[in-house]
Structure 1
Amino acid sequence: MHTLKTIRARLGTTQKEFASGLGCSQGNVANYERGQALPPEAAKRVIAFAASKGMQLTMGQIYGLEPLHGQGPEVPTPTQPATHQEVANG
């Protein structure tokens, strides 16, 4: 699962709600979740939106360089490959 999709799911928002919070379109969110590069300015908006919902994030977590901790399952990082079960549930 892409990191941004996991973040959105942990926040309990739809793509439309997430997009509204970021100031972009639902289509942009869908593209980011499919792996389109997330610009740094958009990543900063993700951090701000998540903070408004009580979730603290870093740029490293958004870009998958650091694991997400807390609510929900861990997000695989380059040093923590996805398990077969995580891929199947993806």
Structure 2
Amino acid sequence: MHNLRRIRKHLGITQKALGDGIGCTQGNVYHYERGQTLLPEMAGRLIAYAARDFGLVLTYDHIYGSAQLPPVAMAEVVNRG
């Protein structure tokens, strides 16, 4: 299992915005959040997207494990709408 939904909510973005950011559809994000396997390639895209657009440093342990998520700057979340 993975923490995609928790990370997306933490970033304050929609499934569509996340899909656009990692190069997949909103439907893909929906299925990932409901248990479809999130391949390491997509996890890598999520790590890059979070760092690039939100300044959030994620690791595979944040995605697949139980590491606590670091805070997101509110200015970044507001700018992402």
* TM-score interval, smaller chain: 0.7 to 0.9
Count of residues in correspondence between the two structures: 70
Which sections of structure 2, spanning at least 5 residues, go unmatched?
73-81
Q: TM-score, normalised by structure 2?
A: 0.78
Structure 1, residues 45-84: CA drift from partner, whole Å, max 9, x if none? 0000111211110012111x23123339xxxxxxxxxxxx
Partner residue, 2:76: none
Question: Runs in 1 of length 4+ with deviation above 4 angstroms?
Answer: none
SS in 2 for 1:48: helix
Which sections of structure 1, spanning at least 5 residues, go unmatched?
73-90
- Larger helix fraction of residues: 2
SS in 1 for 2:37: coil
Partner residue, 2:35: 35
Higher gyration radius (CA): 1
Q: TM-score, normalised by structure 1?
A: 0.71
1:29 Cα deviation from its structure 2 partner: 0.3
Matched, 1:13 2:13: yes
Structure number with the bigger relative contact order (C-alpha 8 A, sep ≥ 6) is 2
Instruction: Give the counterpart letter for 2:61 in structure 1.
Output: G
